[in-house]
Chain A
Amino acid sequence: MADDLNWAIGGEAGDGIASTGKIFAQALSRAGRHVFTSKDFASRIRGGYTAYKIRTSTDRVQSVVDRLDILVALTQRTIDENLDELHDDSIVIYDGERSWDAEIPEGVTGVDVPLKSLAEDAGGAIMRNIVALGAACEIASFPIENLDESLEKRFASKGEKLVENNKQAARLGQEYVQENYDDLPEYSLDTTDEDYVLLNGDEAIGMGAIAAGCRFYSGYPITPATDVMEYLTGRIDKYGGHVVQAEDELSAINMALGAARSGARAMTATSGPGIDLMTETFGLVATSETPLVICDVMRSGPSTGMPTKQEQGDLNMALYGGHGEVPRFVVAPTTVAECFQKTVEAFNLAEKYQLPVYLVADLALAVTEQTFRPEEFDMDAVEIDRGKVVDEDDIDQYLDEQDRFQPHYDAADGVSPRAFPGTEGGAHMSTGLEHNELGRRTEDTDERVSQVDKRNRKVETAKQEEEFDYREFGDEDADTLVISWGSNEGAMVEALEYLEDDGIDVRFISVPYIFPRPDLSEEVESADDVIVVECNEQGQFADLLEHDTLTRLKRVNKYNGIRFKADELADDIAATLTEEIKA
């Protein structure tokens, strides 16, 4: 990609790194450039090291790579943390007037800009990051006017003066580089007329929820799922909905369950530690056949693990968490845009089949701000299917001989009629105890067996009625098949290009449905080598596919807390091809 650029700003937590990065990302997006961002961050409010990284191109970008072209370093540690990504054409922007003596690695060009002094000239030291953005615009040959709009959007609520000061700060940075540096490595960022939207996976999930008619959200703040809650707060209210910040995740899922029993489309979102707590109530949701979307934005576990790092380690938890046996669906979006689409779908599946749906996303999706064409969030395509809801007019056909409504009626397809509270003649109970068709406790062996069978029959019905498909990339005739799930798709799609350059043809299948999931046995059997890529140590999805196909699969696993990177992934896959399959 000719004008592919990797830019980053890094410093301490509290330095305004993320908001500065977002301003630049928005400027690039508004200039019709594709953007893919990532964050290096830690679980602390001040200090340490944090960075916001942007990869931008006029072509679509779907992954981070191990390469940095322009780095704004507010601390030496920012430089040190990124040594491996800097190269001979890299430029580091730093402030030589500050107390640290920047050690610029050999071969890398240092651009010393008095960020703080220039910011003060523009009206305040707080704008030093904006000065750096102006300098970056100059170095990258990116028209600074694009930055203006982004600054207006960010600071409009704080008054015109502040907006103007920020624009001025950017220009001082730009001019300083113009006047003091020539012969810098050349970068050029073209602009286009394309309109893109820039958002992250958590926001896409929240937007999908509103589009799908979700009106009740209860949650407890946790990295990296909090953005879902923050997105919905204030927005869902406009559609008659509400967000409750619960006292803990136990409460959050029970509130959502209550709202769902009331007939609302309800959701809660959390990460691994919250899922642990919610597992207590999961069985109740499933056995009371309550439609509920439970979103798990995965991070590195176990226990507190690495709260700000990537992992796809909760797959087994979503599939098997909780005592006893009861069906649940597990859907795992593979891109930020798909976070929107699959959230809508999750609500429909939950209500059609009256069961909990785990919407399993991961940190890489949640924190990545990525550009999309607005059409990818197609509101006209949103269909709402509420399943077998009965109202007062037709409730009579669902009453037993004693005129009692049967919420767990043993229907042929396993799906019972559903009456919202307030429906005349529909009063009924349900319970976490095994129950009969009336929703009352039973230990009768026949009733037990028929209710277990009924619940499981919903899965068979869904398999017949729904299309649990997958997406395919690369060379469909290739001998090598790579399969992955969740956010790895973007890195893998780009890795295909690197592999092709090395003469390795690969067929790539990206799977968003974990349960029920597509039957891949034919695809697996027809390939010479099958490699399953996932961000965990045990290969949880590979286990599932091996189980499905009884074929031994090669695996690429990563569990250091960092997402896959396209170039590195290509190397891993090439290396795996020469390995023997692990017994």
Chain B
Amino acid sequence: MSSDVRFTDFKSDKQPTWCPGCGDFGTMNGMMKALAETGNDPDNTFICAGIGCSGKIGTYMHSYALHGVHGRALPVGTGVKLANPNLEVMVAGGDGDGYSIGAGHFIHAVRRNVDMTYVVMDNRIYGLTKGQASPTSREDFETSTTPEGPKQPPVNPLALSLAAGGTFIAQSFSSDSQRHTEIVKEAIEHDGFGFVNVYSPCVTFNDVDTYDYFRDSIVDLADEDHDPNDREAAKEKILEGDKEYQGVIYKDENSVPYSDLHGIGSNMSEIPDGAPEDAMDLVREFY
């Protein structure tokens, strides 16, 4: 890894097609800065994404990347990382990708605690399909498919993560570039599954969870007397439900990532030209 990498090195020559003002610009910039500031470079970085506005991120960043199917980016990232632990793996997704179609994978990725970073661009709406309710939409949020609101409580991704044994749970706001970058950086540096839910407003289809709303309501945990190593305190904050927190809510300092627990460490792409030398032992087992 070279030390003179700048965050612009992670920018591709492709201009984003996100709507002007979209929160995803800020989310992506923070990811690029955090990657550069943690000593990574495009050739050792792998970005996985699913479907939705967030899914396009691999095109706008310069790195190794796979833009996969809807909701399955976390399993892809898991495979990438376990097969080559030298890579910095970052999975990006939206609230639909991560908490609806991919909700099952989210829970299990948290449990598995593979050393990678998961950044969810949560805009509380389906943007790319032009404005339907998402799993994080408010109960009374009126959309084309929920004219009177979804009438079901929004998913609390932080609570899901905590319940599943999450070792790093954080939240940020795409518009607060400095804090967002710091938080993603900390997630990258965490030994295990670093999860950051990012408020990333949709300026076109969500007129409720707007920049103004978040600016007015966000409470920064850095300004509060919050100890992120205290799981009980984290639980309380997460379940309060009426506050929009920013910061690292929970962090397990004793986290042991999956690879360490399972003794995985080699780059699996490196294999011999033929069968392993002692491969006949495998046959002899069947005598």
Q: Which of A253-287 contact B (CB under 8 A)?
A: 254-266, 280-281, 284
Name which residue of chain B comes closest to A218, CB basis.
B79
In the assembled complex, B46 has its CB within 8 A of some CB on chain A: yes
Contact between A255 and B67 (Cβ–Cβ < 8 Å)? no
Separation of A281 and B71 alpha carbons in the complex (Å):
11
In the assembled complex, A235 has its CB within 8 A of some CB on chain B: yes
In the assembled complex, B62 has its CB within 8 A of some CB on chain A: yes
Separation of A426 and B275 alpha carbons in the complex (Å):
28
Contact between B104 and A248 (Cβ–Cβ < 8 Å)? yes
Contacts of A198 in B (CB 8 A): 286-287
B interface size (C-beta, 8 A): 57
Q: Which of B32-86 contact A (CB under 8 A)?
A: 42-48, 58-59, 62-69, 72, 74-84, 86
In the assembled complex, A425 has its CB within 8 A of some CB on chain B: yes
In the assembled complex, A562 has its CB within 8 A of some CB on chain B: no
Separation of A247 and B107 alpha carbons in the complex (Å):
9
- Given the interface pairs A215-B83, A215-B271, A430-B67, the reply to whether A258 lies near B77 with Cβ below 8 Å is yes
In the assembled complex, B242 has its CB within 8 A of some CB on chain A: no
Separation of A72 and B74 alpha carbons in the complex (Å):
51
- Given the interface pairs A197-B287, A251-B72, the reply to whether A427 lies near B64 with Cβ below 8 Å is yes
Contact between A429 and B64 (Cβ–Cβ < 8 Å)? yes
Contacts of A218 in B (CB 8 A): 75, 79
Instruction: Report the stretch among B22-30, B149-157, B259-267 that lies at the interface.
Output: B259-267
- A398 smallest CB distance to B (angstroms): 14
In the assembled complex, B13 has its CB within 8 A of some CB on chain A: yes
> Taking each of B45, B263, B275, which has the highest tally of chain A beta carbons within 10 Å of its own beta carbon?
B275
Write the A415-426 contact mask toward B (1 if CB under 8 angstroms, else 0).
000001111111
In the assembled complex, A366 has its CB within 8 A of some CB on chain B: no
Contact between A422 and B279 (Cβ–Cβ < 8 Å)? no
Separation of A513 and B82 alpha carbons in the complex (Å):
32
- B206 smallest CB distance to A (angstroms): 25
- Given the interface pairs A421-B87, A440-B59, the reply to whether A259 lies near B13 with Cβ below 8 Å is no
In the assembled complex, B130 has its CB within 8 A of some CB on chain A: no
Separation of A284 and B205 alpha carbons in the complex (Å):
29
Q: Which of B222-281 contact A (CB under 8 A)?
A: 262-264, 266-269, 271-276, 279-280
In the assembled complex, A380 has its CB within 8 A of some CB on chain B: yes
Contacts of A244 in B (CB 8 A): 78, 82
Contacts of A374 in B (CB 8 A): 280, 283-284, 287
Contact between B64 and A421 (Cβ–Cβ < 8 Å)? yes
Name which residue of chain B comes closest to A407, CB basis.
B64
- Given the interface pairs A240-B266, A427-B42, A432-B68, the reply to whether A440 lies near B14 with Cβ below 8 Å is yes
Contacts of A181 in B (CB 8 A): none
Contact among A266, A288, A383, A427 with B83 in the assembled complex (CB-CB below 8 Å): A266
Instruction: Report the stretch among A156-164, A205-213, A327-335, A475-483 that lies at the interface.
Output: A205-213
Contact between A203 and B78 (Cβ–Cβ < 8 Å)? no
Contacts of A280 in B (CB 8 A): 69, 72
> Taking each of B13, B86, B262, B271, which has the highest tally of chain A beta carbons within 10 Å of its own beta carbon?
B271
Contacts of A30 in B (CB 8 A): 287
Contact between A377 and B79 (Cβ–Cβ < 8 Å)? no
In the assembled complex, A239 has its CB within 8 A of some CB on chain B: yes
Name which residue of chain B comes closest to A203, CB basis.
B286
Contact between A263 and B59 (Cβ–Cβ < 8 Å)? no
Contact between B271 and A256 (Cβ–Cβ < 8 Å)? no
Contacts of B69 in A (CB 8 A): 254, 280-281, 284, 432
Contacts of B72 in A (CB 8 A): 250-251, 254, 280-281
Contacts of A527 in B (CB 8 A): none
Separation of A241 and B262 alpha carbons in the complex (Å):
10
Q: Which of B168-225 contact A (CB under 8 A)?
A: none
Contact between B80 and A259 (Cβ–Cβ < 8 Å)? yes
Contact between B268 and A263 (Cβ–Cβ < 8 Å)? yes
- A13 smallest CB distance to B (angstroms): 25
In the assembled complex, A564 has its CB within 8 A of some CB on chain B: no
In the assembled complex, B6 has its CB within 8 A of some CB on chain A: no
In the assembled complex, A83 has its CB within 8 A of some CB on chain B: no
Name which residue of chain A comes closest to B277, CB basis.
A379
Write the A313-357 contact mask toward B (1 if CB under 8 angstroms, else 0).
000000000000000000000000000000000000000000000
Contact between B105 and A211 (Cβ–Cβ < 8 Å)? no
- B263 smallest CB distance to A (angstroms): 7
Contacts of A508 in B (CB 8 A): none
- B42 smallest CB distance to A (angstroms): 4
Contact between B76 and A254 (Cβ–Cβ < 8 Å)? yes
Q: Which of A365-406 contact B (CB under 8 A)?
A: 374, 377, 379-380, 382-384, 402
Contact between B268 and A216 (Cβ–Cβ < 8 Å)? yes
Contact between A384 and B283 (Cβ–Cβ < 8 Å)? no
Contact among B66, B74, B104 with A430 in the assembled complex (CB-CB below 8 Å): B66
- B101 smallest CB distance to A (angstroms): 10
- B102 smallest CB distance to A (angstroms): 9
Contact among B66, B82, B269 with A431 in the assembled complex (CB-CB below 8 Å): B66
> Taking each of B263, B280, B286, which has the highest tally of chain A beta carbons within 10 Å of its own beta carbon?
B286
Contact between B76 and A207 (Cβ–Cβ < 8 Å)? no
Contacts of B87 in A (CB 8 A): 262, 421-422
- Given the interface pairs A198-B286, A281-B72, the reply to whether A241 lies near B268 with Cβ below 8 Å is yes
- B90 smallest CB distance to A (angstroms): 12
Separation of A244 and B81 alpha carbons in the complex (Å):
12
Contact between A379 and B275 (Cβ–Cβ < 8 Å)? yes
Contact between B286 and A284 (Cβ–Cβ < 8 Å)? no
- B235 smallest CB distance to A (angstroms): 24
- A266 smallest CB distance to B (angstroms): 7
- Given the interface pairs A216-B268, A259-B80, the reply to whether A239 lies near B283 with Cβ below 8 Å is no
Contact between B42 and A258 (Cβ–Cβ < 8 Å)? no
Contact among B82, B104, B287 with A242 in the assembled complex (CB-CB below 8 Å): B82
Contacts of B262 in A (CB 8 A): 242
Contact between A257 and B84 (Cβ–Cβ < 8 Å)? no
In the assembled complex, A195 has its CB within 8 A of some CB on chain B: yes
Contacts of B65 in A (CB 8 A): 428-430
Q: List 23 A-B contacts (CB under 8 A).
A: A198-B286, A198-B287, A211-B275, A215-B83, A235-B282, A250-B104, A251-B104, A254-B75, A257-B66, A257-B79, A259-B79, A259-B82, A264-B269, A374-B283, A377-B283, A379-B283, A421-B46, A421-B64, A421-B80, A422-B43, A427-B45, A431-B66, A432-B67
B interface, CB within 8 angstroms of A: 13-14, 42-48, 58-59, 62-69, 72, 74-84, 86-87, 104-105, 107-108, 262-264, 266-269, 271-276, 279-280, 282-284, 286-287
Known: A213-B272, A265-B268. 6 other contacts (CB 8 A): A211-B276, A216-B82, A254-B68, A261-B46, A421-B46, A427-B62
Shortest beta-carbon contacts, A-B, top 6: A258-B79, A263-B269, A213-B271, A254-B75, A262-B83, A264-B268
